Structure 1
């Protein structure tokens, strides 16, 4: 897939995959959302149905387009296997890769010869990849139901600070359409997915992270 604009990805621009840790800035809720207080309201039935359906999808693949905080655009192909595993192969000369093996997330830029490693448990991406999408414990911050989209905003301040993930689903098929990561500074990165195929098996090395290579590379570049 060709994108209209190709740009050099940075750590901030891969926020679409939840790789920035939380900070002190307050988050802004999108107008029009139904706020859900953990101790005062149950999770809306529509949101629970969507979460249950999405949790039942154990693997999927397709294409994506990512929009950065300043409107930057790129794209590529993705592969997901629950729990915890995902891979994004970006188009472009940087040969960018983002891979989660269920424990860690690595950002690879072969052009710049960099490899940055993060714990999956400290990113909003964890909420997307859990074996079960957990809406309990006050994680649901807002729900918006429209004819063509159901939007669910999730956060877990104890895990990744003030970052949030907002997921948009088809209200009829419950299929995931896109998600937005809002970082602690209030900057958004949106990922839209399409040509999605649910199910399927992937080669064993699809989600493999070479920890030895990561350690050696970062030792040499210090």
Structure 2
């Protein structure tokens, strides 16, 4: 299976409830203005907001799939507001942690982690204390209904040309099952959730990140 590029991996993380580390502005997708929503659309968007706001904690397995078919699996943890962890299964060296202030992306093979302000990522929208998909700094571009599935696509309100995130909900039961991020070339990376548990107790240490480079002996000396 071809490996995920680091940029593609970061783009997928940005969508997460729980997705990554790139601001939407870095994705440079074709410009999309906010949609004029019908009353049915508004009701469906409100359902999505209510669902996301009702989540306090979540644990789920995830499968991440890139445009070229490359895949990665792992476990996602969410504690609202502000905290998230994406723990990729070995041998994938990536770890992603949102600690309430930053989205921290650490490639354990490359070394130094990247710190991205949480508010500048789509993930920051989804882990807010009060999730709003309309009327704030994100706008809905379209609502698509398929049998048993609801798709809600979003852009940044001030930079609708910057990129697009699509949240995919199952209808029965109503739950977030997937998110998709479209990049500058139109390639789509999807992250699917399964075996989800909500309202469970999670160890707060899951959302702490300690830079392992600070613990190396040569850095402690002197």
Residue pairs, 1:199-218, within 5 angstroms: 199-210=199-210
Aligned counterpart for 2:114 among listed residues 107, 116, 135:
116
Query: Aligned partners of 1:160 and 1:84: how far apart in 2?
Result: 24
Aligned to 2:18: none
Q: CA RMSD in A?
A: 2.8
8 Å contact from structure 1 (residues 121, 159) kept in 2: no
Q: 3-state SS of the aligned residue for 2:174?
A: coil
8 Å contact from structure 2 (residues 75, 88) kept in 1: yes
Aligned counterpart for 1:16 among listed residues 9, 12, 23:
12
What is the CA-CA distance between 1:92 and the residue it aligns to? 2.1
Change in 2 beyond 3 A, CA 1:9/1:184: closer
Residue pairs, 1:186-205, within 5 angstroms: 186-205=186-205
Aligned to 2:83: 85
Aligned to 1:25: 28
Q: What's the TM-score, normalizing by structure 1?
A: 0.80
Q: 3-state SS of the aligned residue for 2:171?
A: coil
Count of aligned residue pairs for this structure pair: 205
- Gaps (5+ residues) in structure 2? 15-20
Residue pairs, 1:68-217, within 5 angstroms: 68-137=66-135, 139-158=139-158, 162-210=162-210
Query: Aligned partners of 2:153 and 2:10: how far apart in 1?
Result: 19
Aligned to 1:36: 35
What is the CA-CA distance between 1:105 and the residue it aligns to? 0.7
Query: What do the CA deviations read for 1:121-145 (whole angstroms, capped 9, x no partner)?
Result: 1111122222222122261111012
Q: 3-state SS of the aligned residue for 1:142?
A: strand
What is the CA-CA distance between 1:164 and the residue it aligns to? 1.9
Query: Aligned partners of 2:133 and 2:108: how far apart in 1?
Result: 37
Query: What do the CA deviations read for 1:75-109 (whole angstroms, capped 9, x no partner)?
Result: 11110111121101111224321111121111112
Query: Aligned partners of 1:75 and 1:194: how far apart in 2?
Result: 11
Comparing 65-74 with 192-201, which one deviates more in the overlay?
Answer: 65-74
Q: What's the TM-score, normalizing by structure 2?
A: 0.80
Q: 3-state SS of the aligned residue for 2:76?
A: strand
Q: 3-state SS of the aligned residue for 1:44?
A: helix
